[in-house]
Chains A and B, each alone.
Chain A
């Protein structure tokens, strides 16, 4: 077993990532914080296995993913966020969208991606994980991760381009 110092450093560095990942899956701040607590309890109990695994960060993120998905299913989140609804939320009433609003809109577009694409783009573009680690989190292979990543990025870009081209309002 590694030292307590190494353990504390490890969990401290992962704290915000665990929260953001849980939030990206559940879409709720309070539920995400519950997942963080739950995950760190489990990490503590399985600390030997976690710290001695080849990809400790990926190990924890996989826990987060599984727990968050379980909670999400239990909650039966049913949202159908149409493009028109989102656009209305970022319009200034004159068909103009500024770049700050575009960032908010982009976050909402990411939230609506299929689960694997959403997790892939989150772990790569928000958390900065290597493709290899993301493959371990998703229990997939690197080629599939790259395909999902490319699809996710292109999907978000295409919707943004449509909104920019047609304007809003």
Chain B
């Protein structure tokens, strides 16, 4: 009885009129039965080939752009990259302030009119120490926030990858 039905389904299959459910029924029959009539062997080989093709996957993980990316000049940059850049900028600023303070101390000895504190933030000369530290706090808070957002998004992507 099953054979009669499978024969009808296979005939329909080669006419291109089976539904996806009917095609799954044929696939299940071939997967469960090794001993099949000679006339079905070519169809079985085809279904096995489809299964083999279906298991093919790319060897390398391909980056899929998302909202957590930013594009500049055609290059995609993610937030982790930005967090790295921001952290580097802050580090350079900190070192610059230390060097400038040191130089200022030397200059002070020579010229008493030089301000006690001088630094450059984004190319702007700042002599007010409180203002400079307030600006540093603001930049660090932004970097911290960016890193937190990036980590949440990385967690989301990791969860998706695990679910796949």
| A residues adjacent to B (C-beta < 8 A) | 4-5, 7-9, 11-12, 15-16, 19-20, 23-24, 29, 32-33, 36-37, 40-41, 44, 99-100, 102-107, 110, 122, 125-128, 130, 145-150, 153-154, 156-157, 160-161, 164
Contacts and interface: CB of A to CB of B under 8 A. Distances in A.
B65 A44 contact: yes
A122 B43 contact: no
B160 A9 contact: yes
B81 interface: no
B20 A157 contact: no
A165 B44 CA distance: 16
Nearest to B46: A106
Contacts of B60: 33
Task: Point out which of A29, A104, A126, A148 has the most chain B C-beta atoms below 10 A from its C-beta.
Answer: A126
Given A12-B160, A107-B49, A130-B20, A33 B66 contact: no
Given A23-B56, A99-B44, A99-B45, A8 B66 contact: yes
Contact of B16 (A8, A104, A147): A147
Contact of B48 (A41, A99, A128): A99
Interface residues of B, number: 39
A7 B46 CA distance: 34
B161 to A, nearest CB: 8
B130 interface: no
The secondary structure that dominates the A interface is helix
Given A41-B76, A147-B16, 10 more contacts: A4-B66, A12-B160, A32-B58, A33-B62, A40-B64, A44-B66, A103-B51, A110-B53, A148-B16, A150-B15
> When A and B form their complex, which 6 residue pairs have the shortest distance between CB atoms, in order from nearest?
A150-B16, A106-B49, A102-B45, A44-B65, A103-B48, A149-B16
Contacts of A125: 23, 46, 50
Nearest to A146: B16
B164 interface: yes
Contact of B62 (A15, A102, A161, A164): A15
Task: Point out which of B48, B56, B64 has the most chain A C-beta atoms below 10 A from its C-beta.
Answer: B64
Contacts of B82: none
A157 B46 contact: yes
A23 B59 CA distance: 12
Contacts of A19: 56-58, 62
